[in-house]
Amino acid sequence: MRSGTVPLINRWGMHARLAFHLASEAGRFTCAVRLGSHGRSADGKDIMALLMLEAMPGDELRLETDGDDEGPAYEALTNFLLNDAKLL
């Protein structure tokens, strides 16, 4: 299992478009993906669960990947959150 924290640098927080793209990116991998914020945890492949995190700009997201391709998934999702998410 790989885990760590990633800041949510998007200026609107976790909103529908970001949740859709994040879940799509997570769905490219076979491993389990979990994100957490404010004591809540969500399946990273479930758009509604991601929205229910109610993560706001600047919040630290806990990212966990577990499974066969956990390394590449962790790197790709971290990169997405640090770079691509700020454009959405």
Known catalytic residues are: 15
Q: What CA–CA distance (Å, rounded) separates 73 from 38?
A: 23
Distance separating alpha carbons of residues 30 and 66, to the nearest angstrom: 9
Q: Are 59 and 40 in contact, with CB atoms under 8 Å apart?
A: no
Distance CA(46)–CA(57), nearest Å, equals 20
